[in-house]
């Protein structure tokens, strides 16, 4: 099980430090669960220092696809690795929606992350209107195939996919455990087809909270959660990690 917190564009320096310290302390007895926090870039170094000695790993929320160069304002995989990142979120729906990220761009970033020893958390998920039109599997299939197109088999344990229905992100609306499980089973079979092996953890994301985490994490094809809002407080985040520990 992996529970990863995506802090998005929240927390100023002191807040990030306090949150990291509180998370590390709240989950210290839950070592059967892999835990990660993904703070904004500017806090990575400080949060990394706060996490030293704990089993909570560091992740970034995005990265650029090039090695280095004239890309003002961007951050490379090498930079992330150098400050202690283990994970990097790629293709979050907010990146797709507000910053024009495409499956082709996601594919290049996944390759770059893997080349630098970062573990990509690749986000996929359909919009509400796509689900209403019955196209959710078609959309997710296109995103998963696009993200991994042309890649050799990825070493088992080197890839994470997060299924995040866009209509459930930050809305308080969660996919039912059965709906999420149905998509997770589909994604797992897709990954087997595309990669030829069971190579990835599949996380659920979309308004996961202490009250609904257990039922979601009990599903056979849900291997953890990507948590937005509920990761901004150590107590709610730790409660989700505790729910995962019950299932681990
Ligand atoms: C996310 O943005 O990855 C997410 C799952 O957000 P929330 O938990 O707030 O829905």
pLDDT at residue 55, rounded to an integer: 97
Please compute the mean of the pLDDT values over residues 8-28 and round it to a whole number: 97
Q: What is the DSSP string of 69-133?
A: SS-TT---HHHHHHTTEEEEEES-HHHHHHH---HHHHHHHHHHHHHTT-EEEEEE---HHHHHT
Q: What is the pLDDT of residues 84-112, one digit of tens each?
A: 999 999 999 999 999 999 999 999 999 99
Rounded to 5 degrees, φ, ψ at 225 are -140, 150
Task: State the average pLDDT for the chain.
Answer: 96
- The residues that bridge with 38 in the sheet, in sequence order, are 6
pLDDT at residue 199, rounded to an integer: 76
Please compute the mean of the pLDDT values over residues 47-74 and round it to a whole number: 97
Give the list of residues 6+ apart from residue 59 with CB closer than 8 angstroms, or none.
4, 36, 37, 38, 85, 86, 87, 88, 89, 121
- The residues that bridge with 201 in the sheet, in sequence order, are 160
Confidence of residue 196 (pLDDT cuts 50, 70, 90): confident
Is the pTM of the predicted complex or chain greater than 0.85? yes
With the most atoms of ligand 1 within 8 angstroms of its CB, the residue from 169, 225, 240 to mutate is 169
Confidence of residue 173 (pLDDT cuts 50, 70, 90): confident
d(CA 114, CA 190): 20
Q: What is the pLDDT of residues 108-156, one digit of tens each?
A: 999 999 999 999 999 999 999 999 999 999 999 999 999 999 998 888 8
Are the C-beta atoms of 207 and 217 separated by less than 8 Å?
no
Residue 210 has pLDDT above 90, yes or no: yes
pLDDT at residue 170, rounded to an integer: 84
Catalytic residue ranges = 92, 164
Residue 174 has pLDDT above 90, yes or no: no
Q: What is the pLDDT of residues 20-50, one digit of tens each?
A: 999 999 999 999 999 999 999 999 999 999 9
With the most atoms of ligand 1 within 8 angstroms of its CB, the residue from 226, 230, 236 to mutate is 226
């Amino acid at each position: 099980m992996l529970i990863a917190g995506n802090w998005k564009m929240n927390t100023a320096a002191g807040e990030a430090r306090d949150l990291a310290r509180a998370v590390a302390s709240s989950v210290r007895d839950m070592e059967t669960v892999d835990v990660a926090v993904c703070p904004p870039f500017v806090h990575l170094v400080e949060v990394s220092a706060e996490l030293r000695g704990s089993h909570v790993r560091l992740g970034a929320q995005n990265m650029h696809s090039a090695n280095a160069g004239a890309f003002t304002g961007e951050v490379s995989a090498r930079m992330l690795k150098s400050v202690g990142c283990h994970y990097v979120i790629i293709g979050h729906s907010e990146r797709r929606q507000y910053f024009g990220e495409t499956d082709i761009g996601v594919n290049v970033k996944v390759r770059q992350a893997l080349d630098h020893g970062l573990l990509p958390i690749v986000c996929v998920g359909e919009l509400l209107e796509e689900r209403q039109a019955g196209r959710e599997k078609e959309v997710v299939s296109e995103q998963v195939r696009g993200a991994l197109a042309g890649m050799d088999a990825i070493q088992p344990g080197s890839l994470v996919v997060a299924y995040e229905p866009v209509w459930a992100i930050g809305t308080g609306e969660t996919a039912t455990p059965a709906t999420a499980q149905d998509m997770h089973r589909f994604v797992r079979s897709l990954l087997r087809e595309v990669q030829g092996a069971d190579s990835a953890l599949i996380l659920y994301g979309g308004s996961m909270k202490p009250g609904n985490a257990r039922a979601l994490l009990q599903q056979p094809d849900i291997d953890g959660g990507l948590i937005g809002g509920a990761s901004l407080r150590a107590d709610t985040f730790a409660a989700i990690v505790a729910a995962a520990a019950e299932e681990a």
